[in-house]
Amino acid sequence: MKKVLILGVLLISIAATAPSKRNDDAYAIKQMCGCFEVTFNFAETFNYSQDSLYKPSKTKVDKGLEWAQLVTDEKDKIQIQHLLQVGDPSNPYIVKHWRQDWLYENTDLYEYNADNKWDFIQLDKKDVKGQWTQKVYQVDDSPRYEGTGTWVHVDGKSYWENTTSAPLPRREYTTRSDYNVTMRGNRHEITDYGWVHDQDNLKIIRKEGQEDQILAAEKGYNTYKRVDDSRCAAAAQWWKDNNDKWSTVRSKWDEVYNRNTDLHLHEKVDNKVLFKHLFDEEIKTKDQIDPIIESFIISNPK
């Protein structure tokens, strides 16, 4: 009888703590919302090239003001849209930046392969128990990279870690063509001043049928220092004014992703990349948006 009682108490305890852990996770994720002074730091650390003339990327340090807008706040889904606010503070210019979606115990992922191709994979439910998938999207809401991991809350710290393949960052693909995949080691940690995006990345040469070749390693350390939301009022207002359009864009991409097939995208259509099509202020309606996105899809095998 005593063993049965102890087991019953244990089961009650587990049942009571599981929702609390998920709530702690969601709270940590939503701490990445708000207005932040951001410092982007990237430096190439190790060179594995066999080329004696190899030139590493220059160390890059940029600063900016970024508004992280909570778009969706559901039990198992949190969406955060990032907006850069640049220029004269009295009349700033708003740039739609990256978006991050967080899904609880998600099993469907688009894993970046190389050269604008993403492989659709399905994980076993038991392998993602208690985990959150972070799905990161380009400025036009096309895919970028995805990975799953467990939020950890210990010793006063809250952090999440994952390593996954990704396309080259914009700072690199406009200047480098000697590698085609970034293996991103991501750590998101909530801090007393905001949060940190800590990265340990590898620059990878990936060719079909061959082992990945590491060209170089890179350290990224991006700090998000929370400031008063009023400083990002222009970005918050921009989102209110443009939310309907980008909701339509997300809906079309959701329809594409829900096909649950590998995805291969054109880099350009009519000599323009996708975001330049969608950033056109004259493009607003579903009848305009859907054909543009569809025109970039090379294949979606059944």
CA-to-CA distance for 104 and 75, rounded, in angstroms?
Answer: 8
In the predicted model, what is the mean pLDDT of residues 275-290?
A: 97
Do the domain assignments include residue 102?
yes
CA-to-CA distance for 190 and 197, rounded, in angstroms?
Answer: 9
Do the domain assignments include residue 10?
no
Domain that holds residue 98: 18-230
Do the domain assignments include residue 237?
no
Do the domain assignments include residue 141?
yes
Do the domain assignments include residue 274?
no
The type of residue at 150 is: T
pLDDT > 70 fraction of the chain, expressed in percent and rounded: 93
In the predicted model, what is the mean pLDDT of residues 181-206?
A: 98
Residue 210: Cβ within 10 Å count: 8
The tokens for 273 are: 């990349």
- Sheet hosting strand 117-122, strand order edge to edge: 108-114, 117-122, 263-265, 297-299
In the predicted model, what is the mean pLDDT of residues 54-62?
A: 96
**pLDDT tens, position by position, 90-134:** 899 999 999 999 999 999 999 999 999 999 999 999 999 999 999
SS3 assignment, position 141: coil
pLDDT at 229: 98
Residue 19 has pLDDT above 90, yes or no: no
pLDDT at 215: 98
CA-to-CA distance for 198 and 35, rounded, in angstroms?
Answer: 19
In the predicted model, what is the mean pLDDT of residues 219-225?
A: 98
Taking a C-beta distance cutoff of 8 angstroms, is the pair 110, 257 a contact? yes
CA-to-CA distance for 278 and 292, rounded, in angstroms?
Answer: 8
In the predicted model, what is the mean pLDDT of residues 178-196?
A: 98
Do the domain assignments include residue 55?
yes
Burial label, 189 (beta-carbon count in 10 A; 0-12, 13-18, 19+): middle
Domains held by the chain: number: 1
CA-to-CA distance for 190 and 29, rounded, in angstroms?
Answer: 8
Residues 6+ apart with CB under 8 A from 106: 128, 131, 132, 133, 148
Q: Which parts of the chain are beta strand (E)? A: 34-47, 60-74, 77-86, 93-104, 108-114, 117-122, 132-137, 143-149, 152-154, 157-166, 181-190, 194-205, 213-227, 263-265, 297-299
- Global pTM reads 0.92
pLDDT at 17: 53
Q: Given the structure tokens 């995006």, which residue do they identify?
A: 197
Residue 253: Cβ within 10 Å count: 17
Do the domain assignments include residue 181?
yes
CATH number of residue 112's parent domain: 2.40.128
Residue 7 has pLDDT above 90, yes or no: no
pLDDT at 120: 98
Do the domain assignments include residue 225?
yes
**pLDDT tens, position by position, 141-152:** 999 999 999 999
